[in-house]
A = this chain, B = another copy of it.
């Protein structure tokens, strides 16, 4: 792992890898930054800068070696050991994410989902769904370190305290509630209400 990359670079490296894993690199083993940029609809300058930041360079004529690039991204951003994720209150949305992580060589694994009301059942593939009353003990038992938090606002603060006390280090927060957390906890916010109001604005222009 390279420990000083900017957040947006890490996010884009993850995106490049995912796109390249679906690229026919058996037949076309090399790609230029402008070609990858076109596939992802982003600025080629970002790509060149991101790859430079992790010390990866391409051939002036042939471009980047895709297989090496995929491997390099893994060495740069992946954790060394498996890290476990749980979804709290998110319903079916976790399914696509679990499909990706739990069937490939990635080091992230979706280990559990929790629901506010329901009784335990298997929600999708091999991921077990628990009632939220079991959350603390399951997080500890499974060693879950990342949480996707998507519960009604009135539950957000209490649940975030519980998961942090149980050992969680990172929270992807969908609740639109600002969470006060200790400094060593990493929070990534997503505010769906603002995104919908933006969507509304641009579809009414």
Contact = CB atoms under 8 A, between A and B. Distances in A.
A14 B96 contact: no
A153 to B, nearest CB: 5
Interface in A135-184: 145-146, 148, 150-153, 169-172, 174-176, 178
A97 B203 contact: no
A10 interface: yes
A124 to B, nearest CB: 9
Contacts of A171: 199
Copies of this protein in the complex: 2
Interface string A3-46: 10101001110110010000000000000000000000100000
Given A11-B198, A77-B197, A99-B153, A203 B175 contact: no
Nearest to A204: B79
A60 interface: no
A86 to B, nearest CB: 11
Contact of A152 (B7, B78, B96, B196): B96
B200 A83 contact: yes
7 contacts: A18-B176, A83-B200, A89-B92, A96-B175, A96-B192, A146-B203, A172-B196
